[in-house]
């Protein structure tokens, strides 16, 4: 739906480039207006790039907005094209009408179409501008300019985000409380940035998810990996390649190791996307894909073939269009053992995983069901220096952003689901009265931010009720403070 004439005129002051209506695809997805905001390349060094700007992609929908008084619902874009998050964050659109909210989704620098440079974005000179601090400043500058242009300086801004975007949502409230009235941070593993926080939770939870789906599932996975290791040790890569329908046969143990990582990545992703209904977020998946994968494992007499089908569920989805698997293009090893993705987005996340965002460790085959595929601090440092010429500074996040004790933080809801392998890095309890913690039984990765669905468990319905109550409370607080001023 086209924006009212008044809003188009106002936005023209803030945004450059042609604005077009784009219809998204997916469950209950709203159309959006795509615009581009002239954003500073470097907010913190006046000399490095001077006044140089880049086009930051922004998606908006104003059909529910009570102009000049309604709140602004702002999604803090994370590690991918912003339209993907627009299509999978229906909760914002479900509640925007009753709040009379303007909806704004901003794309993270170095992702999607928001590239700071025409080319060479990932060379050593330019990629250093890919930081959490720069991204947060992008959002703060955008919101400040947008509110001024729309004569909406008194309108409260509520930040929303899931996963890394949830971390950014929380950080926005913490760093810019004069701009953000409150934040909904779903599946946000903020404790990963504390160097002393254990990083072994992810693969343990993935294993638990599969065990809960079927008590025999984990044993079948372990059996398959054991048989594969024995086969690979004999140099019989042809048999393994055939059972996994690989486009190109494995030739050595190095390539075999990559296959193991490809499989592990699939299981981690299935666990994250274990929604109670079919989705197409990371892949075309059926309802409860973990249970579906376990059924593949159990129905095959050959456990290796079962493992192949289970992993293939993620890469091939429910349509089964792939005739063979190209494991080297479908999975790229990086500084995130849970997977960086591919293309420019994968490269960008790899760099962030080598600098500010420390991700979970590898697998040990004891506390989890996977082969021994370690990713220690030493391995990470060597990889990051070789790939990017940097050494991670894991202590910086604890200094710059929210601490474990959450001192100084307020007006944030942290929501986590027990099916989500990222839950172990999230806020599960706090003594801070300004922070609300919600635990969602039967919830996978930021399920609460998705559109309401008839298959939703009661726990996520209740979580959304609490979130709405908190949002209304924050809006009321903001308006009272503005009135006092």
Catalytic residue among 445, 446, 448, 456: 445
CB 187 within 8 A of CB 420: yes
User: Is 446 among the catalytic positions?
Assistant: no
The tens place of each residue's pLDDT in the chain, 485 residues long, gives 433 333 333 343 344 444 444 443 345 679 999 999 999 999 999 999 999 999 999 999 999 999 989 999 999 999 999 999 999 999 999 999 999 999 999 999 999 999 999 999 999 999 999 999 999 999 999 999 999 999 999 999 999 999 999 999 999 999 999 999 999 999 999 999 998 899 999 999 999 999 999 989 999 999 999 999 999 999 999 999 999 999 999 999 999 999 999 999 999 999 999 999 999 888 899 999 999 999 999 999 999 999 999 999 999 977 778 999 999 999 999 999 999 999 999 999 999 999 999 999 999 999 999 999 999 999 999 999 999 999 998 888 888 887 778 988 999 999 999 999 999 999 999 999 999 999 999 999 999 999 999 999 999 999 999 999 999 999 999 999 865 54
Catalytic residue among 368, 420, 448, 456: 420
**pLDDT value, residue 291:** 97
Catalytic residue among 35, 114, 163, 308: 163
461: which 2 tokens? 């319905």
**pLDDT value, residue 395:** 87
3-state secondary structure 315-383: HHCCCCCCCCECHHHHCCCCCCCCCCCCHHHHHHHHHHHHCCCCCCCCECCCCCCCCCECCCHHHHHHH
Angstrom distances, CA of residue 463 to CA of 109, 272, 440, 448, 467: 31, 18, 7, 7, 6
User: Is 245 among the catalytic positions?
Assistant: no
In the chain the first and final C-alpha atoms are separated, in Å, by: 36
User: Is 43 among the catalytic positions?
Assistant: no
137: which 2 tokens? 């400043």
CB 273 within 8 A of CB 281: yes
Alpha-helical (H) ranges within 65-199 are 82-86, 90-99, 132-149, 164-175
* Spatial CA neighbour of 32 closest among 50, 59, 8: 59
């Amino acid at each position: 739906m086209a924006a009212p004439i008044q809003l188009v005129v106002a936005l023209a002051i803030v945004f450059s480039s042609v604005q077009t209506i784009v219809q998204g695809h997916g469950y209950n997805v709203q159309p959006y207006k795509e615009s581009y905001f002239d954003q500073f390349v470097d907010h913190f060094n006046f000399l490095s790039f001077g006044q140089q700007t880049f086009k930051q992609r922004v998606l908006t929908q104003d059909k529910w907005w009570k102009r000049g008084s309604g709140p602004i619902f702002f999604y803090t874009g994370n590690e991918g094209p912003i339209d993907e998050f627009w299509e999978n964050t229906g909760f914002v659109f479900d509640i925007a009408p009753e709040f009379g909210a303007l909806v704004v989704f901003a794309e993270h620098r170095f992702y999607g179409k928001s590239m700071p440079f025409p080319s060479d974005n990932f060379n050593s000179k330019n990629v250093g501008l890919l930081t959490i601090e720069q991204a947060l400043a992008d959002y703060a500058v955008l919101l400040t300019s947008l509110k001024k242009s729309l004569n909406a300086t008194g309108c409260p801004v509520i930040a929303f985000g899931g996963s890394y975007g949830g971390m950014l949502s929380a950080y926005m409230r913490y760093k810019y409380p004069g701009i953000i009235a409150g934040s909904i941070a779903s599946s946000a593993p903020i404790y990963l940035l504390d160097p002393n926080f254990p990083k072994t939770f992810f693969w343990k939870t993935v294993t638990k998810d599969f065990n809960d789906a079927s008590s025999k599932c984990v044993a079948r996975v372990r059996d398959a990996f054991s048989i594969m290791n024995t086969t690979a040790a004999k140099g019989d890569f042809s048999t393994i390649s055939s059972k996994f329908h690989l486009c190109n046969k494995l030739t050595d143990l190095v390539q075999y190791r990559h296959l193991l990582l490809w499989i592990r990545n699939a299981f981690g992703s299935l666990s994250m996307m274990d929604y109670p209904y079919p989705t197409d977020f990371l892949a075309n998946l059926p309802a409860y894909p973990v249970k579906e994968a376990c059924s593949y494992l159990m129905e095959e007499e050959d456990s290796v073939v079962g493992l192949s089908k289970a992993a293939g569920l993620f890469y091939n989805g429910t349509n089964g269009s792939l005739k063979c698997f190209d494991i080297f293009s479908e999975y790229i090893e990086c500084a995130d053992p849970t997977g960086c993705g591919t293309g420019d987005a994968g490269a960008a996340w790899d760099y962030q995983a080598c600098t500010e965002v420390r991700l979970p460790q590898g697998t040990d085959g004891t506390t989890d069901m996977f082969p021994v595929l370690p990713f220690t601090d030493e391995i990470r440092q060597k990889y990051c220096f070789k790939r990017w010429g940097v050494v991670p500074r894991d202590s910086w996040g604890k200094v710059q952003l929210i601490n474990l004790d959450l001192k100084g933080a307020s007006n944030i809801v942290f929501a986590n689901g027990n099916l989500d392998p990222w839950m172990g890095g999230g806020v599960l309890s706090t003594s801070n009265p300004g922070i609300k913690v919600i635990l969602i039984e039967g919830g996978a990765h930021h399920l609460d931010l998705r559109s309401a669905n008839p298959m939703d468990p009661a726990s996520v319905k209740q979580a959304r009720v609490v979130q709405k109550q908190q949002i209304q409370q924050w809006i009321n607080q903001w308006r009272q403070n503005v009135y006092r001023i």
